[in-house]
Amino acid sequence: MKFEQAKQIASKAIEELSQALERGHGEGMRDYLKAMARFHRYSAYNVMLVLSQRPNATRVAGYQTWKQFGRYVKKGAKGILVLAPVLRKKAVEEASKEEDSAKVLVGLIGDFCRAFTWTPLQRYYARIYTTTEDYRTARHVHSYKVLILITPTGNRLATDTDVVARGDSSFVLSDQAIKSGAQGVEWQSKPFENWKLHALLRHPIYRDESLLALSKPAWFGAFVILFGGLLFAVPKDLARARQLRQGRRLKGPKLVTAVQFNRRNKSNGIGFIQERSFLNRVVRSARLVRIPRRIESSHILIMGDTGTGKSALIRQLLIEVERRGESAIVYDPALEYMPQFFDPSRGDIVLNPLDQRMPYWTPGAELRHDAEALTLAASLFPDRHNENPFFVEGRQAHFPDIAGGHGRLSLAQIAYVERKHPHGSGECLTLLF
């Protein structure tokens, strides 16, 4: 029953936090982070349970644990529900019989714990407790306002078990004090040596703990919130400062990081290695600017001065193509990539008329119809307004006969015709060859 009750409390708190975040209210998340800082060893479920039942709690422990710390739970105090693992011994019925039993986790039950918070007297005496601790003024005598318990046997400093707070500085006798015969409490200004008052406060009020020890969870929580907030605030502040310095971009290109580029374009294709940072070199990784695979076949323009790494980027593309086992057409007049990537064993072909590794090919092999020869001649020898039409028309007229090869004149026959008819296109033939 307790487990189901704890589950309902935590689930309700999580749902309320989620709804608050959706509405844009971050106070609940801030309180949750503060609670996580105070209870950094607790599970997220238990942190939510503590926060929903006792938001100002700074320490949580069971009844016996508080007694070990020298603290005592007030009569009538109510606990809060958290989840705690329960272990019991269970016989091991496996092949290994050397161990008679083993502890097995059997479940979670609700455990009522007492939440530790600063008492009203601890909060009131905090400044006095700090100032009287200074050894340099230990013997100095000052007048301090303290809460005095009046009893038939004499007056003494009131403790947390003697009084119950009714406001910031208003106290009444507790049931335990009334039963012991106390007559009342009142504020009195009395002179004390600093070291004596510090000793009086240390044990009955602060249980022999310093203010630093009592405030350690709060300091830890403050630092966690500070650094956690900086993680979110610093990038936003830098972005805001950059926007104020450079202005707001309305349209056009924008300078982004490799991570931002890949995230915005959902890039999952070929990538270019960027300059490695110190962390990347340590973990032996590299940041890649990737291109979405769906647009890899589109044009890519690489611009840069001599020596800036254009060839290195193209080499990265070819390495990725080779790794995938895909095909590529590489225009390499300077032979920069052929020594590294050319591999005849996988069927690579060189298309260079000046390279003996190129297979035999002639433009005439591409012609399937007579009209295609005329079209190819017009493409190779286009008409230009600043040239003599005689030379252009001569080239266009002789090219189909030379490139066709299908029942047309051979080169020897064309040369013979040129010699017999010098007024035809002899000069064209000379220029053609």
Using only the alpha carbons of the chain, give its radius of gyration.
45
340/278 same-domain check: yes
Q: What is the mean pLDDT of the chain?
A: 75
Asked, for residue 162, whether it belongs to a domain, the answer is: yes
Residue 171 domain-assigned? Answer: yes
Decide: helix, strand or coil at residue 218.
helix
Could you tell me if residue 393 is inside a domain? yes
CB atoms within 10 A of CB 248: 6
The mean per-residue pLDDT over the stretch 8-21 comes to 71
- How many whole angstroms separate alpha carbon 145 and alpha carbon 126? 13
Pairwise pLDDT comparison (87 vs 292), residue with the higher score: 292
Taking a C-beta distance cutoff of 8 angstroms, is the pair 128, 144 a contact? Answer: yes
For the segment 375-428, what is each residue's pLDDT rounded down to a tens digit? 888 887 888 888 788 878 887 777 776 665 544 444 455 556 556 554 444 443
Distance of CA 29 to the CA centre of its chain: 19
Query: Between 21 and 130, where is the model more confident?
Result: 130
Which of 81, 116, 151 is the last residue before a domain boundary?
116
Q: What is the DSSP letter of 382?
A: -
Q: Are residues 112 and 185 in the same domain?
A: no
Among 146, 133, 81, CA closest to 112: 81
Residue 190: phi, psi to the nearest 5? -135, 150
Note whether residue 218 is domain-resident: no
The confidence band for 255, taking pLDDT boundaries of 50, 70 and 90, is confident
The domain of 270 spans 258-346
**Nearest residue to 174 (alpha-carbon basis) of 71, 66, 75:** 75
- Find out whether 49 and 10 touch, Cβ atoms under 8 Å: yes
Claim to verify: residue 111 and residue 152 sit in the same structural domain: no
The per-residue pLDDT for 42 is 77
Q: Cα separation of 80 and 63, whole Å?
A: 12
- Domain identity same for 107 and 131: no
8-12, 356-360, 396-400, 414-418 — which is least confidently predicted? 414-418
Residue 44 forms part of a structural domain: yes
The domain tally of the chain equals 4
- Cα distance between residue 188 and residue 78, in whole Å: 32
184 against 23, higher pLDDT: 184
Asked if residues 265 and 288 have their Cβ atoms less than 8 Å apart, the reply is no
Give the pair of three-digit tokens for residue 49: 């349970």
Token couple for 47 = 């942190």
Contact 58/117 with Cβ under 8 angstroms? yes
Taking only the tens place, the pLDDT of each residue in 110-151 is 444 444 567 888 888 888 888 888 767 777 888 888 888 888
Question: Which position has the higher pLDDT, 417 or 272?
Answer: 272
Asked which of 209, 243, 273 is the last residue of a domain, the reply is: 209
What mean pLDDT do residues 363-386 have?
80
- State how far the Cα of 280 lies from the Cα of 8, in Å rounded to an integer: 46
Segment 226-234 shows an average pLDDT of 88
- The answer to whether residue 231 is domain-embedded is no
Sign (positive or negative) of CA dihedral 309, 311, 312, 316? positive
Asked if 404 and 374 sit in the same domain, the reply is yes
Is residue 303 located within the same domain as residue 391?
Answer: no
> For 189-207, how does the pLDDT look when each residue is reduced to its tens digit (9 = 90+)?
888 888 888 888 888 888 7
SS3 assignment, position 136: helix
Is 151 found in the same domain as 76?
Answer: no
Q: Based on the fold, state whether residues 23 and 41 are members of the same structural domain.
A: yes
Task: Centre a 10 Å sphere on the Cβ of residue 207 and count the other Cβ atoms it contains.
Answer: 15
Q: Rounded CA gap, 339 and 233, in Å?
A: 52
Residue with tokens 């044990």: 203
Report residue 342's pLDDT band, with 50, 70 and 90 as the boundaries.
very high
Give the per-residue pLDDT at 357: 87
Give domain status of residue 246, yes or no. Answer: no
Q: Are residues 369 and 316 in the same domain?
A: no
Are 31 and 43 part of one and the same domain?
yes
Answer yes or no: do 110 and 16 share one domain: yes
Q: Considering the domain boundaries, does residue 223 fall inside one? A: no
Question: How does pLDDT run across 305-335, given as a tens digit for each residue?
Answer: 988 888 888 998 899 889 888 889 999 988 8
Residues 8 and 82 in one domain: yes
